[in-house]
Structure 1
């Protein structure tokens, strides 16, 4: 299996012996490469940023490419019984900090002035990409683990001087917001010839999501609802992105870089993601690793809509899912027909996993506008209704009473938005983050899985700190042990 490009640093040792004894030892050795001077070109810096994403997305690696198991306790995936072990989710901790090591190396080089002779706007563009990625990594980590070791370009080498304290959640968010704000101000509208790189719209979308998350648990700083609304509105108004009109086209290869998908994990034919077989049933020669909880899909399927066939495998070659060996639907988003049959048979999927897309932004706006206003505004209704119309393959901008929401209270509308996020963003690793920020574990398990309820406590809204790091830090999240 072909591996992704990995950017490694080599430090060449110097042996000053015998023949060098009469050399001028004050002469700077031109061939010496150290951690202080390694990054000297934009290409080297961007290679390090590519390596940071590689840490999260390499095929069969413990990040997100084969990462559904890290989100097994949402209500979409099978067998998440809410008995969370004390070593759960540690691979995400490790991979995000590996990514941050690469990102901080680039930011450190910029701060030290390594990029001599390069135009300032190019350096600023590199810094914006790095700060965008740092914000993204910390946004994932702080939601999953709470208080964090906060490592930046100014932090002494944590290997030599281990960090022995965790930074409070609110302070981590200060860095996240600052980094995303810089990215919003500095990133270009697009990167011609490099569509996988983060651009301004992705920074706006993720910053809106950060504000929305800060308005909910655990911070509950409700003043951020207005900030989330306004940032999402700014993105909606600038016209850079839009919904794909046909719901069956959202995940087609020709649409993987827009106009709906604003940024995500990137796969190519020579750099594929983990085999699509993990998402498919035995009847498709699949492995069914990422199995859907049938209680979740049964609830959604009570009201039929075209989006269900677009996002779920409900039949294969005329056989309905009720006659599959597993007797449940599977995930279609990242498999055929959204990759070629040849790719599927060869185990080389070029499907991308979205991290932020325009449907998400519309739903962020709808939720934030309703909460900031105290009731759903006409604009909030229109935002969610555009997503609902597209789900039924109706004209997106034309009101349709058959699917449009109306006449809801603040709480009813909020529930409707969260449910719309549940199905629209399904299996994109987004559901767990909604569950924890809205504190939904008891609510979503009461009817389908009452046997899970004794296993649920407030401690379950954070994953455990990996044992080794918890011992160094001298603290563990409540409800877990570090033994």
Structure 2
């Protein structure tokens, strides 16, 4: 938070100009605000620095979908590790904990600096307002990630002017969420329509509306439990749906192949963190498909650690015919290089179940001239249309009165795609639908499972379980499955065995506690 790094943006000269990646190439030295923000080019460069935080390893380059989203879907497949944030066994000096906290506040500080200086620039006012909206939304989004993971945090709404500006008491949850909602709602009126861009790397109205639905669902759940927010969640999800532009890709697997192939389908994948090479040189890569993915040392396919294995209970969640199961969870592995042959798993032993990986992103589909061992250019989704449909249904179901027929239809659309019923020529289209007439409780239970099957390993499951108030019992329930794993995989249940109530929030990093004398540590630490 002591400085802002400004980057030059490649290939973008106008607001609606096409770009493969809304990131930047080379960092420059610190530029004082008095000498910057003079024109549109410099403002856009600064804005790209606000976006840049999303792709850091401490963010969606790795931690937020891997170590910091360990849930009932999978486990940390490094058997030699006994202490890690992914095992819910760490101390407040954990470097991953600090790195994510620092990255989020870095993004906030960059946004604050841009917002404080954007009016100085000589540029068209309409364009200025679009950029202002993006910066407002990103600041709010970074605060949403912070409070979702840490609870009460300092609410810094001005750029840091001096290294001595360190003491700041945490805001109340009401203060923090009020600011998040205010910023996002203001941004919704300013940012461009989703059809303005040929890619999913920039914030659009659809992205803001969809994330506002997510924010309001969180506010309706733990810890605020403000039930009035379900109305707002339904409203914002409804705006995405009513736009009439978005629709589900007919093939579930293609959604994730697109992330690897840079094939943008903004009707389904509304907002993504983008990773890329430029001209064969390393640009900015993430770990999508290399830390998770189908584990292999086959460098022709693309090396993957396969470091997130799946729980048998997650495998068992899927019913026969659900095509998501064998995509989220691989049903094959690879021969050694130079072969690219696949070998199907057979049988049903415990080893076969627990040896499978979180396989949603597969490097065999990655389109790039060079495949690194540790990193990939596969994009990561922050918001998909399927999530919007499920959020609408959940919010509507939780409101007083009878659930609308649209909510059942929206869940069934997601299910039909899962069973191949949206493809041309599909027959018995309704056979995958939920049973008719489910009451509020049974519908919610079905929807909770549906979110896991549809959105598994996308950084949402742990946060969903927490807002539903069932995180700890759900995780503890995994222990009953331990006997289903052979001895070599029973280490995978360490996460469930370590869980306590304190793990609904992460510890405030030691560095923050040492420097900020007004900060309060979370309960249990």
| TM score, norm. by length of structure 2 | 0.78
Deviation at 1:7, TM superposition (A): 4.1
Q: Which residue does 2:502 correspond to in 1? A: 459
1:57: how far off?
1.1
Q: Which residue of 2 aligns with 1:94?
A: 102
- Could you report, residue by residue, the CA deviation over 1:87-116 in whole angstroms, capped at 9, with x for unpaired residues? 453221111111112111110102xx3113
Partner of 2:166: 162
Say which of 273, 285, 293 aligns to 1:273.
285
Which of the numbers 61, 73, 77 marks the counterpart of 2:70?
73
What's 1:23 paired with? none
Tell me the distance in 2 between the aligned counterparts of 1:326 and 1:447: 18
Cα distance, 1:244–1:354 mapped onto 2, change above 3 Å: same
CA pair 447-462 structure 1, distance change in 2 beyond 3 A: closer
Residue from 181, 192, 200 that aligns with 2:185: 181
| CA positional deviation for 1:140 | 0.5
**Equivalent position of 1:305 in the other structure:** 322
Q: How far does residue 186 in structure 1 lie from its aligned partner after superposition?
A: 1.2
- Partner residue, 1:360: 387
Q: Is the 8 A contact 1:375 1:409 kept in 2?
A: no
Q: TM-score of the superposition, structure 1-length normalised?
A: 0.85
CA shift in 2, pair 1:297/1:455, >3 Å:
closer
Question: 1:277 is paired with a residue of what secondary structure?
Answer: coil
Q: Please state if 1:150 is matched with 2:155.
A: yes
Residues 190-201 of structure 1: matches in 2 within 5 Å?
Answer: 190=194, 191-192=196-197, 195-201=200-206
**For residues 236-315 of structure 1, what are the structure 2 equivalents within 5 Å?**
236-251=241-256, 252=258, 253=261, 255-270=263-278, 271-275=283-287, 276-279=289-292, 280-282=294-296, 284=298, 286-301=303-318, 303-315=320-332
Q: Cα deviation per residue 1:237-271 (whole Å; 9 max; x = unaligned)?
A: 11121111111211223543411111120122323
Between the aligned partners of 1:378 and 1:457, the Cα distance in structure 2 is 39
Deviation at 1:291? 1.3
Question: How many Å apart are 1:460 and its aligned residue?
Answer: 1.5
Structure 2 regions of 5+ residues with no counterpart?
1-22, 77-85, 334-341, 481-492
The residue number in structure 2 matching 1:14 is none
Which residue matches 2:405?
378
Match 2:50 to one of 41, 52, 56: 52
Larger radius of gyration: 1
* Residue segments in structure 1 that go unaligned for 5+ positions in a row: 12-33
CA RMSD, 1 decimal = 2.8
SS at match of 2:33: coil
> Which deviations, in whole Å up to 9, do the C-alpha atoms of 1:182-212 show, x marking residues without a partner?
1211111133456421111101101111111
Instruction: Give the Cα–Cα distance (whole angstroms) in 1 for the partners of residues 36 and 284 of structure 2.
Output: 29
The alignment partner of 1:309 has SS state of helix
Give the match's secondary structure for 2:324.
Answer: helix
- Contact preservation (8 Å) 1:282, 1:325: no
Q: Distance in 1 between matches of 2:187 and 2:331?
A: 41
